[in-house]
Amino acid sequence: MSSTKKGDLSTSEKELFEVISAGNVQEASRLLGCKDVRVNCLDEYGMTPLMHAAYKGKADMCKLLLQHGADVNCNEHEHRYTALMFAGLSGKTDITWMMLDAGAETDVVNSVGRTAAQMAAFVGQHDCVTVINNFFSRARLDYYTRPQGLEKEPKLPPKLAGPLHKVIMSTNLNPVKMVMLVKENPLLAEADALDKCRRVMELICEKCIKQQDMNEVLAMKMHYVSCVLAKCASVLKEREGKLDGLVKSLLKGRENDGFPVYQEKFIRECIRKFPYCDATLLQQLVRSIAPVEMGNDPTALSVLTQAITGQVGFMDAEFCTSCGEKGAEKKCSMCKMVIYCGQACQKMHWFTHKKVCKKLQEHREKQEAEMAKLRMQQKKEESKAMQDATESTQEATDSMQELTVDNNSDVAPSETSEPPDVPAADN
């Protein structure tokens, strides 16, 4: 085929753009088999079929186009947008992940100097921002599943690559959730396996710092994951293969308000152990966390999460009290002050929550009573202000009426009296 030019489309290629907009995957598959259809053809704006599919949020269509060799890094758009940028703008995290997994570059900028993550953040698609900022390709991990140099065995057994990659890709940094991910996979929930995974995490962390384009954010995340894995391995060695005790320790709250003190201390300790003291990110984290008294906001988890995932603008979202998953909806039926993503998390947290549930309920009822009193007082003040305004308006109206009457009294004689006799002029 000839070199691709903007708007230079065959009849079949024009039809391809139409079926992509309609979402007809079967017809698109047929058209991609035609000889006169180029998978990376450009419309008049420089958009490829993959860009259209990503922007329209058509995941199946994107998958089909990538299977046919679509260029995920094509940059011929008139404003230099990429398929990853369009995926971020669509708000579809699965498509965003698909573009990244296909090799999409994250540091490319458009005509206004914004990256894909910055464009997604600009339009409020923060979930896509999180996916982009946390992406770590499976290929980079698979490197450690092959013996390198004189090694007889790989640093990471191939069977552990999948489970470990799932932990790495988690955007939820709550240590309870990470321990649960370890616990649910039998291959990973062994002390020896965790030690191997921890060593690989440390190597990746070191590589992120020492590479030419240093990546402190990814280094910090790998270090944090390695700390959690090390803790799991330590507990498994001490407690004969059970992680339930670690989960309870991380969830246990203090008696007066239920704040998980051990969890806070653990995360702070993980950050403190970051081996590269000169890192700017480490210094920022320490400055943000060190002055905060235990139990106050911001917590170490919230500061770390914002630094690593870029999760900003989630103040309206609800997070599970147990595992930290976003989108929790089930409140405790008694105190209504804690929220969970499901019954499993509520049951897991009950051992510590039951000690403060009644106290939280009383606190909520007191707050509600104060708010009701405040609303009543505000309503009275508004009513009084309205009454005063009405009275003022009435007084002003009465004054205007009196003024009108007075003016009419002054004018009346000149209008009704006869004009004075004018003496006749002498001839």
pLDDT tens digits, residue range 144-186?
999 999 999 999 999 999 999 999 999 899 999 999 999 999 9
- Name the 3-class secondary structure at 330: strand
* CA separation for the pair 84, 107 (Å, rounded): 11
Per-residue pLDDT of 45-95, as tens digits, reads 999 999 999 999 999 999 999 999 999 999 999 999 999 999 999 999 999
Give the domain ranges of the chain.
11-134, 140-305, 313-382
Domain range 11-134, its CATH number among 3.30.300.10, 1.25.40.20, 1.25.40.10, 3.50.40.10: 1.25.40.20
Across residues 407-419, what is the average pLDDT?
Answer: 50
Over the stretch 195-226, which tens digit does the pLDDT of each residue have? Answer: 999 999 999 999 999 988 788 999 999 999 99
What is the reported pLDDT for 410? 54
Helix axes 175-183 and 158-169, enclosed angle (nearest 10): 150
**pLDDT tops 50 at residue 417:** no
| pLDDT at residue number 405 | 62
Q: Determine if the pTM surpasses 0.95.
A: no
Query: Rounded distance, CA 215 to CA 217, Å?
Result: 6
pLDDT in tens, 258-282: 999 999 999 999 999 999 999 999 9
134: pLDDT strictly greater than 90: no
Sorting pLDDT into bands at 50, 70 and 90, what band is 194? very high
**Is the confidence at residue 308, as pLDDT, over 60?**
yes
DSSP string, 19-75: HHHHT-HHHHHHHHTSTT--TT---TTS--HHHHHHHHT-HHHHHHHHHTT--TT--
DSSP state for residue 294 in the 8-state scheme: T
Rounded CA-CA distance 171/173 in Å is: 6
Q: Which residue has the higher pLDDT, 240 or 220?
A: 220
* Residues 117, 93 contacting (CB under 8 angstroms): no
Q: Residue 1: pLDDT above 60? A: no
Mean local confidence (pLDDT), 405-426: 50
pLDDT at 90: 96
Amino acid 130: pLDDT = 86
Given this model, what pLDDT does residue 414 score? 46
pLDDT at residue number 212: 83
How much is the pLDDT for 95? 97
Classify 237 as helix, strand or coil.
helix
pLDDT value for 408? 58
Q: pLDDT tens digit string along 345-402?
A: 999 999 999 999 999 998 888 888 888 888 888 888 888 888 888 877 877 777 777 7
**What mean pLDDT value characterizes the chain?**
89
Q: How far apart are the first and last CA of the chain?
A: 119
Helix (H) or strand (E) holding 338: none
Supply angle C-alpha 118, 226, 263, rounded to 5: 85
Whether residue 311 is predicted with pLDDT greater than 90 in this model: the reply is no
- pLDDT, position 3: 54
pLDDT of 420 over the 50 cut: no
The region of weakest confidence among 278-292, 307-321, 325-339, 384-398 is: 307-321
What integer pLDDT is reported at residue 419 of this predicted model?
47
The pLDDT of residue 406 is 61
